Amino acid sequence: MGNCLTGHAADDLSLLHEEPDRVSERLGPPPPYQEAAPVYHLSPNQRRTVSQLTEEEQVKIAQRIGLIQHLPTGEYDGTKKARECVICMLDFQIGDALRYLPCMHTYHVKCIDDWLMRSFTCPSCMEPVDAALLSTYESR
Amino acid sequence: MTTGASMLLKKQLKEMESKDGTQGFSAGLSEDDDLFKWEVIIYGPPDTYFEGGFFKAELLFPQNYPNSPPKMRFVSEMWHPNIDKNGDVCISILHEPGDDKWGYEEASERWRPVHSIESILISVISMLSSPNDESPANVDAGKEWRDDYQGAFKRNVRRTVKKSQELL
Ligand SMILES: [Zn+2]
Ligand SMILES: [Zn+2]
């Protein structure tokens, strides 16, 4: 039991990026067995609209956005080693807006920012982004 | 988001079409030409009781793919600890990441947007060969796998293999 998570167990932040109703429509109604299954709680994951978020959650989202915006960005100029964004699987084109994570992995800004709102880790190496970010600040 | 998702799916579809199936599966869109709905055939891995089976499954992608994982459900009848009786596949890489703050270790096994359709299918094939018996989605199959592998488990799996061949 417990290996199979029910429906959408992402944190609340994902609400900003999808319309849950449309997703569940696409995936069909959850099969009845899920109703009795335990929900895996890493974080509160009741589904609410953004306006129903508590003040604390709104602060958390604002903080997360702030942290993401502290990560360096740049434009692809064709000289860097990284050539492909592994999220969208497309090659970087000259002029693409890139974001550099502390682990040195590079993605399109539009590809990585959505992910970082869900999980503050690098999707390639799983390095937690906030820890690295904080230590960078401390060492200054 | 939606256009990003369709572009990524289209790209993977193209790559999939250029493959010859030697990696143990074939994949393409379901009949209705909906990029978000795929049909896959998993070939039962050699040297397992699943060998010889052609197991049909569907992959349903959410609009915000690849930030969220697809769901995978076998249409063919399956007998496996990590596939529930509706055919839903329960493996960690198809689970939403949740919040990493409390589950960093766990998070590494969960969905990440860098997983491709191919990497999902490879994980599913490896799951067929080596089930995770800590948390069976099909409790009976889990019990049999543990206690009566060469008896009841084998019998039930071989039955599904035979059935999958008849449906071809
Ligand atoms: Zn990208
Ligand atoms: Zn990284």
Query: Residue B98's pLDDT is what?
Result: 64
Relative to the alpha carbon of A108, which ligand is closest?
Answer: 1
Q: Which one is catalytic: B83, B90, B125, B128?
A: B90
Task: Report the pLDDT value the prediction gives residue A126, as an integer from 0 to 100.
Answer: 87
B2 touches chain A (CB under 8 A): no
Confidence of residue A55 (pLDDT cuts 50, 70, 90): confident
User: Is 70 exceeded by the pLDDT of residue A133?
Assistant: no
Q: What is the mean pLDDT of chain A?
A: 70
Distance from the Cα of B109 to chain A's closest Cα (Å) equals 10
- The reply to whether residue B63 touches residue A19, judged by beta carbons under 8 angstroms, is yes
Where does the pLDDT of residue A134 fall: very low under 50, low under 70, confident under 90, or very high at 90 and above?
Answer: low
**Do residue B135 and residue A40 have CB atoms under 8 angstroms apart?**
no
Contacts of B92 (CB under 8 A, 6+ apart): A3, B106, B109, B110
pLDDT in the model for residue A2: 40
Least confident of A57-71, A98-112, B58-72, B138-152: A57-71
Would strands A106-108 and A97-100 be described as parallel, antiparallel, or unpaired? antiparallel
Ordered by start, the domain boundaries in chain B are 4-91+100-166
- For B:72-111, CB contacts with A below 8 A are 82, 84-86, 88, 90-92, 95-104, 106-108
Residue of A nearest to B70 (CA): A27
pTM of the model: 0.77
Mean pLDDT to the nearest integer, A89-98 = 94
Q: What percent of chain A has pLDDT above 70?
A: 56
- Residues A14-43, mean pLDDT to the nearest whole number: 40
- As residues whose CB is below 5 A from the ion ligand 1, the structure lists A 85, 87-88, 108, 111
Q: Is the pLDDT of residue A106 over 70?
A: yes
Phi, psi of A49 (to 5 degrees): -80, 165
Higher pLDDT, A81 or A96: A96
Q: What is the mean pLDDT of residues A1-27?
A: 45
Laid out side by side, the sheet with A73-75 consists of A73-75, A97-100, A106-108
Cα distance between residue A35 and residue A31, in whole Å: 8
What class, spelled out in words, does domain A13-138 have in CATH?
alpha beta
Please report the DSSP string for A38-84 in residue order: PP--SS------GGGS-HHHHHHHHHHHHHHHHS-EEE--S-SS--E
Comparison of pLDDT for B45 and A46, the residue scoring more: B45
Mean pLDDT of A72-83: 87
Q: How far is the CA of B24 from the centre of ligand 2 (A)?
A: 30
Domain boundaries, chain A: 13-138
- Identify the pLDDT of residue A40: 28
What is the reported pLDDT for A30? 44
Task: Say which residues have a Cβ less than 8 Å from residue B21's Cβ, sequence separation at least 6.
Answer: B43
pLDDT of residue B17: 85
Question: What is the pLDDT, as a whole number, of residue A46?
Answer: 45
> Residue B112: closest CA among chain A residues belongs to which residue?
A123
Which of A:46-85 have CB within 8 Å of B?
Answer: none
pLDDT tens string, chain B, 168 residues long: the values are 457 899 999 999 999 888 877 789 999 998 778 999 999 999 999 999 999 999 999 999 999 999 999 999 999 999 999 999 999 999 989 988 765 444 444 556 889 999 999 999 999 999 999 998 888 899 999 999 999 999 999 999 999 999 999 877
| Residue A31 DSSP one-character state | P
Task: State the pLDDT at residue A20.
Answer: 43
Whether residue A138 has pLDDT greater than 60 = no
Q: Chain A partners of B12 at a C-beta cutoff of 8 Å? A: 89
Chain B residues touching residue A90 (CB < 8 angstroms): 7, 11
Give the model's pLDDT for residue A62.
87
CB A29 within 8 A of CB A133: no
For domain B4-91+100-166, which architecture applies?
Answer: Roll (3.10)
Ion ligand 2 residue ranges (Cβ < 5 Å): A 103, 105, 122, 124-125, 127
Q: Do B98 and A124 touch (CB under 8 A)?
A: no
Kind of pairing between the strands at A106-108 and B25-29:
unpaired
* Residue A84 pLDDT class (50, 70, 90 cuts): very high
**Distance (Å) from the C-alpha of residue B155 to the closest C-alpha of chain A?**
24
Is B90 an annotated catalytic residue?
A: yes
